[in-house]
Amino acid sequence: MRVPDATVDPMRLILRFLATARHNGADIRPFMEVIGLLVHDGRVSGAALRDHVTGKTGEFHADLVVNAAGLWSGKVAAMARASVPIQPSPGVLLALRGRFCNMVINRMHKSGDGDIVVPQRGLSIVGTTSWVVEDPDDLSVPEDHVERMYAEGSRLIPALRHAERRAAWSAARPLVGSGGAATGRELSRTFQTFDHAERDGVERFVTITGGKSTTLRGMAELCADVVCRKLGIDEPCRTRNTVLLPHTAYYSAAAA
């Protein structure tokens, strides 16, 4: 069955969002780590930061803080004594040299290991396995999972069995749900915005988490609506019709 599918370059997509955001007034600060939240009388007023380029630490103050830390959203929320039901679910993927298909090939069954091959430039990406972890930084690349990707991928395209490996890595999904999942496949790929004033009694603090790349613009709109309501701003979201700047604009603006 042929479906209207497509592929995306995730790094370039991110740079397009960052370039467009900066063009509209956002202050992009790469290599900054949030090491704490500033909380006074049940209200978040900013964050403590560490600059991994200079090694310096400092504080950043804000009217409202949005926690969009993905896998780490639970850890960031805990800095304000708030909670987010997040379950990190890693999976191993293979990048094999050679473009063995020009469209996505996907096995039509319930989500399982190695059921998709995605062409990207001169590579074929085979994915993915799935398990759950408590620590989002505890991501390994088990060799038996790599072998499973070769075996399952070659069921879709036999030539993949002998393709040269360009890379094998583990990427994790920030799935919304409490602990206790066995593989992560039983958890929904939905997304959710949490107003921590309602959930934890912590004001001026909002979390957006879950979802995936195909839902990220909708996630941002949902979160922005919550933020605007809390700040008393009556403006419609316009990103649905906004054409993003090219990824090269991020570098050209940085060099200017």
Tokens of 227: 């933020």
Distance CA(99)–CA(90), nearest Å, equals 25
Domain formed by 87-176, architecture: 2-Layer Sandwich (3.30)
Tokens of 131: 């398990």
Q: Which tens digits make up the pLDDT trace of 6-45?
A: 778 888 999 999 999 999 999 999 999 999 999 999 999 9
Question: What pLDDT shows up at residue 116?
Answer: 93
Tokens of 44: 């978040």
At 128, give phi and psi (nearest 5°): -145, 165
CA dihedral 117, 86, 195, 216 (to 10 degrees): -10
Yes or no: say if 95 and 168 are a contact pair by the CB < 8 Å rule: yes
Tokens of 3: 């479906």
Question: What pLDDT shows up at residue 49?
Answer: 97
Question: What pLDDT shows up at residue 253?
Answer: 73
Question: What pLDDT shows up at residue 178?
Answer: 67
Residues of CATH 3.50.50.60 domain(s) within the chain? 10-85+187-255
Percent of the chain topping pLDDT 90: 72
- CATH homologous superfamily of 10-85+187-255: FAD/NAD(P)-binding domain (3.50.50.60)
Let me know if 255 is exposed, middle or buried by CB neighbors in 10 A (0-12, 13-18, 19+).
exposed
Q: Which tens digits make up the pLDDT trace of 72-123?
A: 999 999 999 999 998 889 999 999 999 999 989 998 878 788 899 999 889 9
Distance CA(215)–CA(101), nearest Å, equals 25
Query: How much is the pTM?
Result: 0.86
Yes or no: say if 37 and 65 are a contact pair by the CB < 8 Å rule: yes
Residues of CATH 3.30.9.10 domain(s) within the chain? 87-176
* Cβ density class 87-100: b for 16+ within 10 Å, e for less: bbbbbbbbbbeeeb
Yes or no: say if 156 and 107 are a contact pair by the CB < 8 Å rule: yes
Q: What is the DSSP string of 73-121?
A: HHHHHHTTT----EEEEEEEEEEEES---SS-EE--SSS-TT-EEEEET
- Strands across the sheet with 65-67, in order? 65-67, 205-210, 191-195
Q: How confident is the model at residue 187 (pLDDT cuts 50, 70, 90)?
A: low
